[in-house]
Amino acid sequence: MTSPRRGLLIPSLIAALGVLILLGLGTWQVYRLRWKEGILAEIAAAEHSPPVPLTEQPPAFGKVSVTGRFRFDRTIRLGVEVRETPRGSVMGYHQLVPLERDGAPALLVDRGWVPDATAATVDDPEGPVTVTGFIHPSGKGSWFTPADDIAQRQVFALNPPVIAQEMGLGPVEPFSLTVLGPAKDGQFPQPATDFPRPPNNHLSYAITWYALAGVLVVIFVLRVRSKAAPT
């Protein structure tokens, strides 16, 4: 006849392994939480710091200012975005314009959101301008990203070298600039009002993993007690 202790050996090992895995996942999320909080702190510091002149290799999401001339004859529509307005939901795009600079490659500038409505008045300044914003690293589309429509000058992935090649823009910086500024009703483009922030759900993930480890322990204890109870 099999001993009750021997009958619990394999379930005990499996339960112990499961608890260790769940605790490990929870601890990993705690480390991820600290890492993400550091990133968010860096973003907040950059957001509230004064802009610095654009250099050849600026840090990602660094706050900079740059002077040049916009080439509105080469304006590109970036992505599709629906926003809530006093008139309801409105579909639009981001205005992406090359900024030509003396002695440097052109810089693609995301000036902000523009509604598709033909009645929208877009402010396109002439002559030299100085714009302030944050550096947006080059990105790549996924399997679900629509193909660029070159004929309509519409792109869906913000990858400056690829966009420049498709649109015949010539040399451009490998990153882009997203303009920062206050959003004013009825004035377009509407620039970004703050820096983008990645989601920080690691605390809830850690709690979930630790809670599952506790549930597994409780289930195992109840199982052992049921086995030990006299029949």
Query: How far apart, in whole angstroms, are the C-alpha atoms of residue 58 and residue 66?
Result: 12
Residue 66: Cβ-neighbour burial (10 angstroms; 0-12, 13-18, 19+): buried
Q: Yes or no: say if 156 and 141 are a contact pair by the CB < 8 Å rule.
A: yes
Average pLDDT, rounded, for the chain: 90
Closest CA to 72 of 93, 99, 104, 94: 99
pLDDT value for 186:
79
For helices 202-228 and 9-48, give the axis angle rounded to 10 degrees.
170
pLDDT value for 121:
78
Q: Is residue 195 classed as helix, strand or coil in its secondary structure? A: coil
Q: Tens digit of pLDDT for each residue in 107-149?
A: 999 999 999 876 677 888 889 999 999 999 998 878 888 999 9
pLDDT score of 4 more than 90: no
Residue located via tokens 């529509």 = 77
pTM metric for this prediction: 0.79
- The phi and psi torsions of 210 (rounded to 5 degrees) equal -65, -40
Q: Yes or no: say if 167 and 159 are a contact pair by the CB < 8 Å rule.
A: no
- In this structure, of 58-67, 81-90, 128-137, 211-220, the range with the lowest mean pLDDT score is 81-90
- The phi and psi torsions of 81 (rounded to 5 degrees) equal -140, 130
Torsion-angle region of 13 (φ positive above 0: left; ψ -120 to 50: alpha; else: beta): alpha
